[in-house]
Chain A
């Protein structure tokens, strides 16, 4: 069952990710990205992280993607196929760079996972019981061990809010 769901979500995630990159219209790109993010939420559920999955859907599909769609519609972008097709040299250069990256990361993954090398690098699980990332477990860890990073993250969000308002304002007095 887990394998079937994994491959189902994997196919959805890869297909909609490729569609997001290749689609000309930015609105469709945003919608394909939402589909990809839902598939990722499915992976998080499969990996015993239900709270992360929920927050992921709320933050990404609920907040970030609305922001994206809002800006796309605010700017009223016309799609311009001629402009996208220009500069073939730069596009081929981009394809070469992507292929180089894929070869690089593929070689790394092959080197690590072949001959059971992963079990050498990655330590064994600390306990045998399956740990589920419930709200209680994550909240306890976040408000005790990771309290200071948590507070710093809130400051970062505040800076983000102030910065976005300052940048989007028409004129600063």
Chain B
């Protein structure tokens, strides 16, 4: 498969992730969309690794995965903490830094 196909596909997936972040109110769905964007970038890394016959792209995917895992753990803990105080996870109702 030509590299450009993978680049276009990963651009489409990234755009879907951006759409999810901008259009949804639910903080959990926004987090899932961020995951989708991270995965689109991972696909670009692996596609370039395959195209260049170079293992470094696949190594980098591991570090992206580590960051994604840490981000999800912290983010969901934050959502739980916010829900405990405000009883909501809809981001348009979370308009104060201080509660």
Seen from chain A, the residues whose Cβ lies within 8 Å of a Cβ on chain B are 2-3, 6, 10, 13-14, 17-18, 20-21, 26, 29-30, 33, 36-37, 40, 43-44, 46-49, 51-52, 55-56, 59-60, 63-64, 67-68, 71-72, 74-75, 77, 80, 83-84, 86-87, 90-91, 94-95, 97-98, 101-102, 105-106, 109, 112-113, 118, 122-123, 125-131, 133, 137-138, 141-142, 146, 149, 153, 156-157, 159-161, 163-165, 167-168, 170
Contacts and interface: CB of A to CB of B under 8 A. Distances in A.
Interface in B16-33: 16-20, 22-26, 28-29, 31-33
- The A interface is mostly helix, strand or loop, or mixed, namely helix
Contacts of B65: 55-56, 59-60
B5 A17 contact: no
Interface residues of B, number: 70
B81 interface: yes
B72 A6 contact: no
Nearest to A72: B28
